[in-house]
Amino acid sequence: MSSLGKSIHLYLMDGSASGRWQATLSNWNGVAYKIPRGDLKDCSDLPELNTPGVYFLFGKDDETGKLFIYVGEADDAQKRLLQPHTFEKDGSYWTEAVIFVTPDGTLEKGRVKYLENRFFTIATEAKRYIVKNGNTPPQSPMPKQIRDLLEEFIINAQLILPALGYMAFEPLPSSGKDDADADNELLYFSRNKGKGGSAIGRITSDGFWVLKGSYIYPQVADYTASGIKKARENYAASIDKNGILQEDICFGSPSYASTFVCGKNSNGLVEWKDKFGVSLKNLDSGEDEAPASDKKKAAVKPQPAPAVSANAEILHLAGKKVAATGQISGDGFIVMKGSGFSSSETKSCQTWIKSLRAQLVADGKVKDCVFTENVYFKSTSAAAACVTGGSANGNIMWLYSDGQSIKDKARK
The reported pLDDT for the residue numbered 149 is 93
Report the percent of the chain where pLDDT is more than 70: 90
Residue 309's pLDDT band, with cuts at 50, 70 and 90, is low
- pLDDT tens digits for 215-256? 999 999 999 999 999 999 989 999 999 999 999 999 989 999
Exposed, middle or buried, 260 (CB in 10 Å: 0-12/13-18/19+)?
Answer: buried
When pLDDT is averaged across residues 121-135 and rounded to a whole number, the result is: 93
Q: What are the boundaries of each domain within the chain?
A: 8-163, 180-272, 285-411
d(C-alpha 300, C-alpha 153), whole Å: 42
Label residue 372 by pLDDT band (50, 70, 90).
very high
Q: Over the chain, what is the mean pLDDT? A: 87
Q: Where are the beta strands (DSSP E) in 302-360?
A: 315-318, 323-329, 332-335
Find, among 353, 335, 237, 334, the residue nearest to 286 by Cα. 353
Q: What is the pLDDT of residue 406?
A: 87
Cα-Cα-Cα-Cα dihedral sign, residues 402, 406, 408, 412: positive
- Would you tell me how many other CB atoms lie within 10 Å of the CB of residue 407? 16
Reported as a single tens digit per residue, the pLDDT across 134-164 is 999 998 888 999 999 999 999 999 999 999 9
User: Looking at 13-27, 180-194, 343-357, which range is the least confident one?
Assistant: 180-194
pLDDT: which is higher, 176 or 73: 73
User: In sequence order, what are the residues at sequence separation of 6 or more whose Cβ sits closer than 8 angstroms to the Cβ of residue 381?
Assistant: 288, 289, 290, 392, 393, 394, 395
High-pLDDT (> 90) share of the chain, %: 61
Strand partners, 316: 325, 399
Terminal-residue alpha carbon distance, the chain: 43
State how far the Cα of 86 lies from the Cα of 81, in Å rounded to an integer.
12
User: Per mean pLDDT, which range of 19-33, 143-157, 183-197, 305-319 is the poorest?
Assistant: 305-319
Residue of 173 and 309 predicted with greater confidence: 173
What is the DSSP secondary-structure string of 179-232?
-HHHHHT-EEEESTTTTT-EEEEEE-SS-EEEPTTPBPPS---TTS-HHHHHHH
Confidence of residue 184 (pLDDT cuts 50, 70, 90): low
pLDDT of residue 412: 64
The C-alpha atoms of residue 197 and residue 192 are separated, in whole angstroms, by 8
